[in-house]
Amino acid sequence: MGKNLIEYRGGIFSPSSMCQELSFLTTKFDGKNATVDSQYRTSTDAAINKYGFSTDVKFAELVYNLLGEIKTYAELFIGYARNGDTCVEYRTKADALSTLVLAREDSNGVVQFKAAYRDPSSGALSQYDADGHRGNAFIAALWKQITDNPEAASAFQNLRSACGSGNIDEQSVAMCKLSNNQYYRINRANGENPNDPVRYNAEYELLTDTDIANTTCNEVVCGSPLVFTISEDGIEEIEAEVEETEEVAEEVTEEVVTGADLRDKYKLDPKRELTPEEEARVPKMTKEYVVPAWATKIARRAASSMAMKKPQLNYLLYGPSGTGKTEGARAIAEMLGLPYYSLTCSADDDEFKLLGNLIPNVNKKDPSENDFVFVGSELIEAIKTGGLIELQEANTIKNASVMEALNPLFADDGGFIKLMTGEVITRHPDCVIVVTTNRGYEGTYDIQQAVWSRIKFVQKIVAPSAQELFDRAYAWTGFKPKAMLKKMAECVADIEEYCRNNQISSGVSGPRELINWATNAILEAQDRGTKVDEDAVIIAGIPTVLEKSAQNEEDIDDICSAIFKKYFSPSKVDAARAAA
């Protein structure tokens, strides 16, 4: 091969060539500033270049992805094996193939490379070709040799600290220093050697499946592998990093009470720009919406898991009607920065209903054109474009084979679905599937086991407490007096519990009912020209809460006697029901 594998070039920093996420690195430093000039830069370099070598834009992007400060790469894993080998998996979001590199230092201190392209869909390996590439995957494979140097290690530590403090000037200085260091030590490694060269052999071999199978990483620098394997120690290290990230996020989450500032809180793909149509579908939860803790946890879990081998993007929420499953799914979509789609299932649905319909081709102009055209469902749109799709009441479908047909869509390796037209749709990497169900209700069925096994996270949505009901209703309505609203919330919570304990499942009693009750009590008082009092509350509560608690008259009478009259004057309740 004989080709110089790593084609790292110098040049004055150009902000326009920097990826958008790093556009703040705009400070330039000339050669007179010793704080950013590498000790490996010779007098000859200084004579040739008026200015010192500044930050290399591609190298900076690699380092910031490594630090987890940005996520412009689809894959970046660097790990060390027990024998000292370095394993790298590398793919930018613009690349079709992943680059795999295995680097091994020989007895003379020269790094020998094995490399290959990997097709992410088939897993097939092919020969790596250096043409058209700057060699960032190989820079990553030399990370151990780069950072074993005191100057580079110090610059990298300074960069990490500056990222933590948010100091942009310090980040610019440290990044420039690290970029200078690696450039001169690598660029001259096989020629005019500096004191501490990073030496490598430009001849590289093909990386094989056998090489991969025989390599296990026990130390993780960044990311999680899709191809190479890691030891239990390595797995624990990754899990510890994810847990630490989630703990930090959770501390912030506790401050979030309403839906006022949910947008992109845990954005799934920080670099993705939505089309106007997609943007219009991103939910905008109001400031009155009280965010349930489980919704925040799921959004955080989905975003955090994107760096892992098997991201968690398939969820199931189950619980009684009116407990906020759909609103929670919409809040998750907003936190992830995704367009929201929904599809309501029913008993007689078949595969075609879930995927789309054939409709007459009214715009047919050529006799050879089909008489019908396929129009995809909300599910297909979410799969294609990358959105959050809520499959509502999926367990009402009678025919188990219908959900079974969706099984490939839930696969760990990305998923796909085949349409009736023969077209195969590959699941977008940003597609999140949320299945919502009501367990134990009449007319519900078990979800097909193959699909069930691919659900990553099952969340039980319990009926909200009286305090949670109060918080939500007050946020929406500003109802006063608060003591009366508290009594109404306790009544709704007790009705829900009574119905659950007595197998009354035909009605609903939850946040929506309380909010409607409070709203109508305010309107009733306005109609009567009085303040909100018990009379207004009772009159408003009959059509909004009591009549919705069940669909059988006897059940409603029982609920009224056991619960409603416990909170409000029995005689006034009877009078209001008689006049209704």
Q: Which CATH number is 433's domain given?
A: 3.40.50.300
CA 187/CA 197 separation, integer angstroms: 9
Q: What pLDDT is attached to residue 2?
A: 29
**pLDDT of res. 374:** 80
Which of 2-16, 351-365, 561-575 has the weakest average pLDDT? 2-16
> How many independent structural domains does the chain possess?
3
Quote the pLDDT of residue 53.
52
Q: Please report whether residue 243 resides in a domain.
A: no
Q: What is the mean pLDDT of residues 130-153?
A: 85
Answer yes or no: is 249 within a domain: no
Q: Are residues 488 and 405 in the same domain?
A: no
Q: Could you tell me if 300 and 157 lie in one domain?
A: no
Q: Indicate if the pLDDT at residue 156 is higher than 70.
A: yes
Distance CA 360, CA 338 (A): 32
Q: What are phi and psi of 181, to 5 degrees?
A: -60, -55
Classify residue 152: in a domain, yes or no: yes
Indicate whether 81 and 102 sit together in one domain: yes
Residue with tokens 């969706």: 406
116-125 pLDDT, tens digit per residue, is: 999 988 889 9
Are both 140 and 279 inside the same structural domain? no
Average pLDDT over residues 5-20: 54
How far, in Å, CA of 511 to CA of 317, rounded? 17
Residues 406 and 273 occupy one common structural domain: yes
* pLDDT at residue 367 is higher than 90: no
pLDDT of residue 500: 85
Distance CA 102, CA 573 (A): 78
Q: How many CA atoms lie within 13 A of 461 on its CB side?
A: 28
pLDDT level of residue 31 (50, 70, 90 thresholds): very low
Question: Quick one: pLDDT at residue 441?
Answer: 63
- Does residue 328 carry a pLDDT above 90? yes
Residue 250 has pLDDT above 50, yes or no: no
With a pLDDT cut of 90, the percent of the chain lying above it is 38
Last residue of one domain, picked from the residues 230, 246, 273: 230
pLDDT attached to residue 493: 93
Q: What does the pLDDT read at residue 555?
A: 95
315 shares a domain with 355: yes
| 27 plus 101 within the same structural domain | yes
322: left (phi over 0), alpha (psi -120 to 50) or beta: left
Report the pLDDT value the prediction gives residue 315, as an integer from 0 to 100: 94
pLDDT at 397: 86
**Predicted confidence (pLDDT) at residue 262 exceeds the cutoff of 80:** yes
- Comparing 33-42, 483-492, 549-558, which segment has the lowest mean pLDDT? 33-42
Q: Tokens at residue 78, please?
A: 């660097």
Residue 10 lies in a domain: no
- 560-569 mean pLDDT: 93
Section 93-109 average pLDDT = 90
Q: Which helix (H) or strand (E) holds 127?
A: strand 125-127
CB 397 within 8 A of CB 345: yes
Mean pLDDT of the chain: 83
Is 393:342 a contact under the CB 8 Å cutoff?
Answer: no
Same domain flag for 489 and 449: no
The answer, yes or no, to whether residue 12 has pLDDT greater than 90, is no
The predicted structure's pLDDT at residue 280 = 95
pLDDT at 4 over 50: no
Q: Is the pLDDT of residue 456 over 80?
A: yes
Domain boundary (414, 439, 460) is at 460
* CA gap 571, 580 in Å, rounded: 14
> Is 3 inside a domain boundary?
no
Range of the domain at 221: 15-230
Distance CA 521, CA 510 (A): 17
The reply to whether 242 falls in a domain is no
Residue 237 domain-assigned (yes or no): no
Residues 481-486, mean pLDDT to the nearest whole number:
90
User: Rg (Cα) of the chain, in Å, rounded?
Assistant: 30
Is the pLDDT assigned to residue 520 strictly greater than 90? yes
Amino acid at 295: A
449 and 499 co-located in one domain: no
| pLDDT tops 70 at residue 299 | yes
Q: Clarify whether residues 130 and 209 are in a common domain.
A: yes
Segments in 442-543 forming alpha helices (H): 449-454, 466-477, 482-501, 511-528, 534-541
Q: Is 568 helix (H, G, I), strand (E, B) or coil?
A: coil
470 plus 456 within the same structural domain: no
Could you say which of 230, 245, 277 is where a domain stops?
A: 230
The pLDDT of residue 33 is above 90: no
Contact 18, 59 (CB under 8 A): no
215 within 8 A of 225, measured Cβ to Cβ: no
> Is the per-residue pLDDT at 241 higher than 70?
no
- Best CA proximity match to 514, nearest among 483, 479, 481, 553: 479
Q: Which residues of 116-127 are buried (b: 16+ CB within 10 A; e: fewer)?
A: bbbebeeeebee
Question: Tell me, what's the pLDDT at 111?
Answer: 92
Residues 19 and 161 in one domain: yes
Residue 21 is predicted with a pLDDT of 80
Question: Which of 37-46, 112-121, 276-285 is least confident?
Answer: 37-46
Is the residue at 246 inside a domain? no
pLDDT at 339 > cutoff 90: yes
pLDDT for position 202:
80
- Percent pLDDT > 70 in the chain is 85
